[in-house]
Amino acid sequence: MADHLLSVIMPVFNERHTLRTIVERVRAVPIRKEILLVDDASDDGTREVIEKIVSEWPDESDNRLHVFYQEENAGKGAAVRRAIEHVKGDITLIQDADLEYDPEEYPQLLDPIVSGKADVVYGSRFLGGPRRVLFFRHTMGNKLLTFLSNLCTDLNLTDMETCYKVFRTDILRRLNLQSNRFGIEPEITAKLAKMGCRIYEIPISYHGREYWEGKKIGWRDGFAAIWTILKYSFTDDDSIDDPGFVTLRRLRRAKRYNDWVWSLLEPYVGKRVLEVGCGVGNFTHYLRHRDYVLATDNNEEYLKLVGSEMEHMENVSVENIDWEHADFDALRAHHFDTIVCLNVLEHIENDAGALASFAAILEPGGNLVLQVPAMQSIYGGIDRAIGHYRRYERDTLLPLLQEAGFEIEHQRYFNVPGVLGWWVNAKLLGRTAVPGVQARLVNFLVPLLRLEQQIKPSFGMALIAIGKRKDDAAGSPASFVLPDRSAAH
């Protein structure tokens, strides 16, 4: 843990009798940390206790205290969101201000993240740890909410409503949380599931309170939680400041569609593969059985996601490559027989230079497996938002490949039904991301796409081209820049 800073978010509302004790227990944990205490407009004297704690706080570099005051009581979720804006640690944990949860269990909770096994850890009250015996109906309510959440997310959590949730901070910031009260718990879970995060559960002790002792959650919060579970199961509420990430994440959930696209590409993929622009890994996992795979991108957050997913695959490496200053000799030393470049070339201003560089890297006779968006006539808002310089036509792409030193082994348009949807969203409505519902509906188009495969249409939403590197290709690399797709607007 010495290399990590833990941010402990502590929402507080009317906890003057327990606050000092819990803060001292958190401070005593021998981990380098900061405590972000958010007072949610307490009216029982809690603010005076906070001011006293602040005045007595020692100057310790390993235990920093930051205090924020809400002007109006807005709920636990609002307090958590307020703190997220200010966290500096690379790991973040949520701690209630009562004494129901024990900070001495932090090391066990953090271990799966520190060791690289997990992106998120839940502390479960129902996995066998010691706990105070209290309300049967309250426990059944918790289990019912967890069951309903699991049904919608396809997770197998035992305790969705637990306070103890620990996150890689970069993941937490991606969630774009909206709930104000206790709906924050099912909202977090739904959004983590959609991101495909690796979630671990750790048994924890639980020292529950009775209502006369200050317990606040009630039956109304239960109904609100049900509404939140259903809401985030059927709607998408992604941050609009990163259209590239939103689009990649939504398309990741189109598994049947991705399987079908891969079925078109797989016959041309060899044993040693360079993936240019892996994004969030939508197709990287299809490559995992090859002898060697180098998955590359220039977005560090994307690489963290792919790296965590592939960390146990000894044949898969994940790297950030600056193509403007790439070491082409080092890349050639890998003897790649395939370069996979899916929905990336359109992000590169000097696309001819990129293709020449690919030819320089590939072994003679190796394949460039290329997929690009097609039909410039439907270029619109989504293209601009995610950084597309262009969409391609067959008559413009194939000459580029030939000039770069490739023979055209195979080419085809595909996804004719998608043309209308893209035109409506990107051109007519000017949207900046593929709507989540429509991204999921593309799965149901697969039977039509299989039929389309027999027809070989003369247009489509995308274009696949397979270029075989000529034995006598000059293979002279050229400088090009792969923009950060998450920063495109």
Distance separating alpha carbons of residues 250 and 280, to the nearest angstrom: 11
Those residues with Cβ within 8 angstroms of residue 460's Cβ, 6 or more apart along the chain or in another chain? 374, 375, 413, 414, 415, 416, 418, 419, 452
Distance separating alpha carbons of residues 126 and 159, to the nearest angstrom: 7
Q: What is the mean pLDDT of residues 430-451?
A: 79
- In this predicted structure, what is the pLDDT of residue 423? 92
Q: What is the pLDDT of residues 108-138, one digit of tens each?
A: 999 999 998 999 999 999 887 666 665 567 6
Residues 196, 256, single domain; the answer is no
Residues 133, 37, single domain; the answer is yes
Q: What is the pLDDT of residues 403-426, one digit of tens each?
A: 999 999 999 999 999 899 899 988
Q: What is the mean pLDDT of residues 7-28?
A: 95
Residues 249, 169, single domain; the answer is no
Chosen domain end from 234, 251, 285: 234
Is 424 a domain residue? yes
- In this predicted structure, what is the pLDDT of residue 475? 59
Residues 228, 98, single domain; the answer is yes
Q: What is the pLDDT of residues 211-228, one digit of tens each?
A: 434 445 666 777 888 888
C-alpha radius of gyration, the chain, whole number: 26
Among 486, 469, 379, residue whose Cα is nearest residue 428: 379
Q: Which domain holds residue 409?
A: 243-487
Residues 276, 301, single domain; the answer is yes
Among 243, 225, 464, 441, residue whose Cα is nearest residue 367: 464
Percent residues over pLDDT 90 in the chain: 62
Choice among 116-125, 231-240, 313-322 with the minimum mean pLDDT: 231-240
Residues 191, 251, single domain; the answer is no
- Check whether 95 has a pLDDT greater than 90: yes
- In this predicted structure, what is the pLDDT of residue 24? 96
- In this predicted structure, what is the pLDDT of residue 437? 66
For the chain, the domain total comes to 2
Is 461 a domain residue? yes
Choice among 237-241, 291-295, 452-456 with the minimum mean pLDDT: 237-241
Percent residues over pLDDT 70 in the chain: 88
* pLDDT top residue among 160 and 223: 160
- CATH code, 178: 3.90.550.10
Chosen domain end from 234, 251, 268: 234
- In this predicted structure, what is the pLDDT of residue 82? 96
Residues 457, 392, single domain; the answer is yes
Residues 31, 116, single domain; the answer is yes
Distance separating alpha carbons of residues 318 and 296, to the nearest angstrom: 6
Residue with tokens 């495909």: 196
- In this predicted structure, what is the pLDDT of residue 242? 62
Residues 267, 406, single domain; the answer is yes
Is 1 a domain residue? no
Distance separating alpha carbons of residues 144 and 13, to the nearest angstrom: 26
- Check whether 488 has a pLDDT greater than 50: no
Distance separating alpha carbons of residues 166 and 160, to the nearest angstrom: 13
Chosen domain end from 234, 265, 281: 234
- CATH code, 390: 3.40.50.150
- In this predicted structure, what is the pLDDT of residue 132? 63
Is 295 a domain residue? yes
Q: What is the pLDDT of residues 262-305, one digit of tens each?
A: 999 999 999 999 999 998 888 999 999 999 999 999 888 888 88
Specify the pairing of strand 63-69 against strand 33-39: parallel
Residues 309, 190, single domain; the answer is no
Q: What is the pLDDT of residues 57-91, one digit of tens each?
A: 998 888 999 999 999 999 999 999 999 999 999 99
Give strand pairing partners of 48. Answer: none
Residues 278, 223, single domain; the answer is no
Q: What is the pLDDT of residues 23-60, one digit of tens each?
A: 999 999 999 999 999 999 999 999 999 999 999 999 88
Q: Which two tokens stand for residue 67?
A: 């205090």
Q: What is the pLDDT of residues 163-183, one digit of tens each?
A: 999 999 999 998 889 988 878
Residues 158, 267, single domain; the answer is no
Q: What is the pLDDT of residues 340-397, one digit of tens each?
A: 999 999 999 999 999 999 999 999 999 999 999 999 999 999 899 888 999 999 999 9
